[in-house]
Amino acid sequence: MQHQSQPLTGNASAADQMVLRRHNLGLVLRHIRDLGPHSRAKIATSTGLNKATVSSLVSELSERGLVRDGSLERGNVGRPGHTIELDGATVCGIGAEVNVNHVEVLALDLRGTVVAEKRSSLDTARLDPDEVLDRLAQLIHEATDEVLARDARTVGLTLGVAGLVDRGAGVLAVGPNLGWHDVPVADLVHQRLDRPAYPLLVDNEANLAAMAEAAALPEGDRADVLVLVGEAGVGGGIISGGRLLRGAQGFAGEIGHMRVDPQGRRCGCGRTGCWETVAGLRALLSAAADPDDPIQDPALGLEDRLAELNRRAELGDARTLAALHQVGGWVGRGAATLVNVLNPRVLVLGGYFAVVGGWMLDGIRDELAAGSIAPRAGDCRVELSTLGFTAAVRGGAQVALDSVFTDPTQVPRRSADRSADLMEGATR
């Protein structure tokens, strides 16, 4: 999202030429990612590179398996040509997530196709980090095996965790809902994967979810997006002016602990009246059902419990509908504060909100309009996520793939790849 988007041109030494070539390969590849399939001529026009250069760059990207010919495009003048579209089936990024309710791993190829998806329901807050990360590493192994079985390579892994992440050190500093403090997650996962060659990053899961959600929006709506992720807690990812808002230490977006109800409940973090005490999953479930109701049983999968909640709402169950209405109101009141502060174009409701949020939307929109100082909540659109619980792992996989869009030359040419394979075989 922060890539330089101008072509580099001019006289240069041989070393500079390589940098230039790499930069322009990335420019063309990102262009096709962001704007969809285009003809060589259109790529030349909109990147400012000349046609011969674009043709040469596209050839190289094709040799590296990153783009391919798409449909025939018949222009107004000249011969019809093929559009160029993303390929990249041989290149995968992996997103992983440690959540209060589950651990999950997802592999995406360069086109965004899901190559592997693994999930285990886990009551992670009751286990110690070693046990949780053992289970996560096992899922990662399964996913990378599937990537390998497709003759594809893993170019990176990004792990999302809920809480304050020191990205430089790969440490979860504070994870209130997991109950983790100063856990060196990057090192612990790295060990369990036998120190893989690809880079491993750790980030806040709501930040990763926000990047995936923004990427899924129409291009004109991606610059100012607020993503609310409803889970045990309420996570926030903020995209403003086209960039993820991280803050001075990378701790921005901790919206779950805004104090919205000073007379309210005690939060897991020790404070009183935090937003997640009235808008988080526990608030909804405990308002909707008694403690011995199966929808409150963490041993059952969360998706099944939420499906049951939807079923009851559809049947018109008064307690369920009242709970959804009450929590929706709180979601809207907290969101109004954030909309006043951030003035987003789109508010995306992810996590459990995406599953049962249909019953909350009217209430959220009403509270948002009532609580926003800007007319019509600054024309902020409120939408349910279409990615749901997979947003964070998708975002993680996309971040892992970003390095290829920055430097496509890290993926070898197919011919070179083949002879490199032969070489490797000969020395085994």
Residue closer to a copy of itself by CB (options 93, 332) is 332
Distance from the Cα of residue 357 to its chain's centroid = 20
Contact in structure between 184 and 169 (CB atoms under 8 Å): yes
- Measure the CA–CA gap between 45 and 418, rounded to whole angstroms: 35
Closer by beta carbon to a copy of itself, 300 or else 341: 341
In this chain, which of 50, 191, 249, 419 binds a copy of itself, going by CB under 8 A? 249
Nearest of 150, 58, 133, 138 to residue 99 by alpha carbon: 133
275 vs 359 by CB, closer to a copy of itself: 275
Cα(67)–Cα(110) distance, rounded to whole angstroms?
9
Residue 246 in the binding site for a copy of itself (CB under 8 A): yes
In the range 353-382, which residues lie near a copy of itself by CB under 8 A? 370-371, 373-375, 378-380
Binders in 267-306 for a copy of itself, by CB under 8 A: 269, 271
The one-letter amino acid at 275: W
- Of 78, 80, 218, 262, the residue at the interface with a copy of itself (CB under 8 A) is 262
Query: Residue 273 half-sphere exposure, CB side, CA atoms within 13 Å?
Result: 8
Residue labelled with tokens 């508010």: 347
343 binds a copy of itself (CB under 8 A): yes
Of the candidates 161, 170, 178, 189, the one whose C-alpha atom is nearest the C-alpha of residue 396 is 161
Task: Establish if 13 lies at the interface with a copy of itself (CB under 8 A).
Answer: no
Please provide residue 19's backbone torsions phi and psi, each rounded to the nearest 5 degrees. -60, -45
- Report in angstroms how near the CB of residue 425 gets to a copy of itself at its nearest: 45
Question: Counting contacts by CB under 8 A, is residue 266 touching a copy of itself?
Answer: no
- Our finding on whether 72 is near a copy of itself (CB under 8 A) is no
Supply the DSSP string of 146-168, one letter for each residue: HHHHTT-EEEEEEEEESSEEETT
Of 51, 243, 265, 311, the residue at the interface with a copy of itself (CB under 8 A) is: 243
Closest-CA residue to 408 (of 40, 119, 36, 31): 31
CA distance 290 to 43: 59
3-class state of residue 122 by DSSP = coil
Selected binder of a copy of itself within 32, 211, 258, 387 (CB under 8 A):
258
- Cβ closest to a copy of itself, residue 94 vs residue 255: 255
List 28, 164, 228, 278, residue binding a copy of itself (CB under 8 A): 164
Residue 168 burial (CB count, 10 A): 10
Here's the x/- map for a copy of itself, 188-227, by CB under 8 A: it reads as -----------------------------------xx---
Contact between 252 and a copy of itself by CB under 8 A: the answer reads: yes
121 makes contact with a copy of itself (CB under 8 A): no
Binding region for a copy of itself (CB under 8 A): 9-11, 164, 173-174, 176, 223-224, 236, 238, 240-241, 243, 245-263, 269, 271, 333, 336-338, 340-345, 370-371, 373-375, 378-380
